[in-house]
Homo-oligomer: A and B are copies of this chain.
Amino acid sequence: MSGSRERPLRADAARNRAKLLDVATEVFTTRGVDVPTEEIARAAGVGVGTLFRHFPTKEALLAAVMVRRLEAIAAGAADLAAGAEPAEAFFDCFRLVVDRSEGKNEFTQALAAAGVDVHASLQEPTTAIRAQLTDLLAGAQRAGAVRADLGLPELLALLVGTGATMEQLRDDPAARERIYEVVFDGLRPH
């Protein structure tokens, strides 16, 4: 699962990489993608050189941040899926993914703008989530809780879109709840 990549990575190097990722996540999320690399390095307490040793380009850093978020989401989803009956698992997982997607769009776009094939470069880490969602969707459909004519692509698109919807309603929890009602109602058969 968390297969070993390259060499084991020395202790301090690993610490630097982690700090960099933490800072980048924080900074990109709160201040946008245009923050200079140098600033991120400084905030992480390392030189730019170190940043570029770990992430050969800025895009690579961006991608790594995304991957990390996706992995976190996947972990959460795994817990939920393990739990209860199919329908509940599906809808709970939907909520989880959406709630954690905050700001994800900006990354995706920044990556795309940089000419990176997002689908390709994020393929592997996303696989876990994809697999889980496929299972959850199938289970919910088998249980008659979700329209049978929907596939994984529609589900993924809907997750992204609902995330975007929610971002517009950041300050109104009640409204967000109503949106969930609309979307979940729409997902059910008929």
**C-alpha gap A167/B162 in the complex (Å):** 13
Interface of A is mostly: helix
Q: What is the copy number of this chain in the assembly?
A: 4
- Tell me, yes or no, whether A32 is within 8 Å of chain B by CB: yes
Given contacts A149-B178, A161-B164, A179-B157, contact A113 B34 (CB under 8 A): yes
Contact residues of A between 13 and 58, Cβ < 8 Å to B: 32-34
Contact residues of A between 148 and 187, Cβ < 8 Å to B: 149-151, 153-154, 156-158, 160-166, 168-169, 172, 175, 178-179, 181-187
Question: Is the Cβ of B186 less than 8 Å from the Cβ of A182?
Answer: yes
The contact size tier of chain A is 35 or more
User: Which residues does A use to contact B, with CB under 8 Å?
Assistant: 32-34, 105-106, 109, 112-113, 147, 149-151, 153-154, 156-158, 160-166, 168-169, 172, 175, 178-179, 181-187, 190
